[in-house]
């Protein structure tokens, strides 16, 4: 009885073993069956143009922005602007009341008139001195001539007196000439003082130094504005003026891209808040790398004639660095990086079986990568997550077109 049970157990084991072997062969046959192969998105390896670009976020700044100070101290008599006012260069922003300067101008004008009168008197005195000299010199000359021809008719004392008067009159002419010159200098000095005070009084009309927008108002009608002629922090400005018709973006360009930065090169400025792209130009850079950040200060100017952009908005600047034409490319989603300058792709080989392929890469853009070796044109590669596929796996390829190529 025990022997029959042993035979039964052995027979049962052989049956189970045979069944398991049959099941394994069935799964293998199913895996190699094209009808059961999983669908896989694939793309073609094609030739195209690829550009390496640098994208950096920045913040719009006014091209220039200043606080407008009064040149002379005075009370605001009339304020012509307010927040958001668009002004032109030379436009009057405010008028100051400066009574003491007005009085000074009146004094200067009186001084000019007085010095003019003194100049006239000095000219008349010079004419009188010249006339007196002419008479004295003529008398002396006549007496001297008579003495030469008839010495007995003219006493020597008369000759000496006539000569003295002649010399005195000549000295009087010289003195009046000096007085006239002094009067002329006095006129020039008084006119210069008047001009200086008039120029200071003209600063009572505070004007815009450039076209711009009033972004801050610090004082209103009746307020006293001190003269902003010192570096004192307590000096109060009238307003802040911002030139917004032209904006600038400050870009910290990394060291690797410095050699590709060129003055005048156009760049795309993407303003995500407006969902728009504007054109800018690289206008200036420091030509020196900051040793702390390993970047170079670079500025992009963006025209803003319609004032659509506002300082403080964020923007992304796309700076083209290098472009290669007619090179082998695959989408970034078909490539898995394995280190600097290399990676892997999954190639759909013969019989639709996958082959893991090592490739070398060149330029990379936001959407594509250049393949320098490891692939041939028109080969088919997996598009998507490569981690879900394995070497030798059978797939049903389905050709797709990446969104950026549509």
- What would the pLDDT profile of 164-192 be if each residue is shown by its tens digit? 888 988 999 999 999 999 999 999 999 99
Of the three residues 323, 353, 380, the one that is the final residue of a domain is 323
Q: Are 53 and 367 in contact (CB under 8 A)?
A: no
Which CA distances in Å does 354 have to 59, 120, 157, 204, 274? 47, 112, 141, 84, 45
Residue 362 included in any domain: yes
Supply the CATH number for residue 288's domain: 2.40.30.170
Distance of CA 327 to the CA centre of its chain: 37
CATH number, residue 401: 2.40.420.20
Average pLDDT value over all residues in the chain: 86
Q: Do 215 and 342 sit in the same domain of this protein?
A: no
Is pLDDT at 211 greater than 50 in this prediction?
yes
Same structural domain, 352 and 266? no
Task: Decide: 208 and 237 in contact? Cβ < 8 Å.
Answer: no
Alpha-carbon span 223 to 76, nearest angstrom? 6
Assess if residue 44 is contained within a domain. Answer: yes
- Which pLDDT belongs to residue 55? 87
Mean pLDDT value of segment 159-164:
85
Q: Which of 6-20, 181-195, 279-293 has the lowest mean pLDDT?
A: 6-20
Q: Are 373 and 359 in contact (CB under 8 A)?
A: yes
Is residue 17 situated within a structural domain? no
The answer to whether position 24 is within a domain reads no
In a domain, 1, yes or no: no
Is residue 41 domain-shared with residue 88, that is, in the same domain? no
Same domain, 341 and 383: yes
Each residue's pLDDT tens digit, 29-49: 344 666 778 889 999 999 988
One domain, residues 312 and 250: yes
Q: Does some domain include residue 386? A: yes
Query: Residue 207 has which token pair?
Result: 């004007």
Same domain, 116 and 178: yes
Whether residue 2 lies inside any domain: the answer is no
pTM, rounded to two decimals = 0.61
Whether 300 and 360 map to the same domain: the answer is no
Q: Where are the beta strands (DSSP E) in 36-144?
A: 39-44, 46-68, 74-79, 86-87, 92-97
The CA-to-CA distance between both ends of the chain, in Å, stands at 80
Band the pLDDT of 234: cuts 50, 70, 90: low
Residues 213, 174 share a domain: no
β-strand pairing of 39-44 with 396-399: parallel
Query: CB under 8 Å to 336, separation ≥6 — which residues?
Result: 343, 344, 345, 386, 387
Q: What is the pLDDT of residue 401?
A: 86
Structural domain of 342: 34-50+324-405
Q: What's the whole-number mean pLDDT along residues 92-96?
A: 95
Together in a domain, 227 and 83:
yes
**Rounded to whole angstroms, how far apart are CA atoms 58 and 51?**
22
**For residues 94 and 76, what is the distance between their CA atoms, to the nearest angstrom?**
7
Residue 197 and residue 128 in one domain: yes
Number of domains in the chain: 4
Same domain, 383 and 250: no
Choosing from 202, 224, 259, the residue where a domain stops is 202
Contact at 8 Å (CB) between 343 and 361? yes
Q: Which of 323, 346, 377 is the last residue of a domain?
A: 323
| Nearest Cα residue to 326 out of 24, 47, 3 | 47
The total of other beta-carbon atoms located within 10 Å of residue 354's CB is: 21
Give domain status of residue 139, yes or no.
yes
Q: State the CATH number of the domain containing residue 76.
A: 2.40.50.100
117 with 258, same domain?
no
Work out the number of other CB atoms within 10 angstroms of the CB of residue 126: 20
């Amino acid at each position: 009885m025990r022997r029959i049970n042993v035979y039964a157990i052995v027979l049962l084991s052989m049956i189970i073993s045979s069944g398991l072997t049959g099941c394994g062969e069935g799964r293998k046959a199913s895996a190699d069956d094209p009808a059961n192969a999983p669908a896989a998105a694939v793309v073609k390896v094609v030739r195209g143009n690829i550009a390496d670009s640098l994208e950096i976020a920045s913040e719009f700044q006014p091209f220039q922005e200043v606080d407008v100070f009064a040149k002379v101290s005075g009370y605001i008599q009339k304020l012509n602007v307010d927040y958001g006012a668009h002004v032109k260069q030379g436009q009057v922003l405010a008028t100051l009341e400066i009574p003491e300067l007005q009085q000074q101008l009146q004094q200067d004008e009186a001084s000019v008139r007085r010095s003019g009168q003194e100049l006239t008197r000095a000219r008349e005195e010079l004419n009188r001195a010249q006339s007196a000299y002419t008479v004295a010199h003529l008398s002396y000359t006549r007496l001297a001539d008579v003495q030469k021809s008839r010495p007995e008719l003219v006493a020597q004392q008369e000759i000496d007196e006539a000569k003295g008067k002649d010399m005195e009159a000549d000295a009087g002419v010289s003195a009046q000439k000096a007085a006239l010159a002094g009067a002329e200098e006095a006129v020039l000095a008084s006119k210069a003082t008047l001009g200086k005070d008039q120029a200071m009084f003209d600063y009572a009309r505070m004007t815009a130094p450039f076209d711009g927008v009033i972004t801050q108002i610090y004082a209103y009608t009746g307020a006293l504005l001190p003269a902003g002629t010192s570096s004192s922090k307590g000096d109060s400005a009238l307003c802040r003026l911002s030139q917004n018709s032209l904006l600038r973006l400050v870009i910290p360009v990394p060291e690797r891209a410095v050699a590709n930065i060129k003055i005048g090169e156009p760049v795309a400025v993407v303003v995500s808040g407006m969902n728009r792209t504007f054109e800018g130009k690289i206008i200036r850079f420091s030509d020196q790398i900051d040793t702390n950040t390993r970047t170079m200060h670079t500025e992009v100017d963006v025209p803003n004639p319609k004032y659509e952009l506002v300082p403080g908005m964020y923007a992304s600047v796309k700076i083209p660095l290098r472009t290669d034409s007619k090179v082998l490319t695959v989408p970034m989603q078909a490539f898995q990086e394995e280190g600097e300058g290399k990676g892997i792709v999954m190639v759909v080989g013969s019989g639709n079986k996958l082959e893991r392929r090592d490739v070398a890469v060149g330029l990379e853009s936001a959407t594509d990568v250049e393949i320098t070796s490891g692939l041939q044109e028109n080969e088919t590669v997996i598009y998507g997550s490569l981690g879900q596929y394995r070497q030798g796996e059978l797939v049903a390829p389905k050709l797709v077109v990446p969104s950026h190529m549509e």
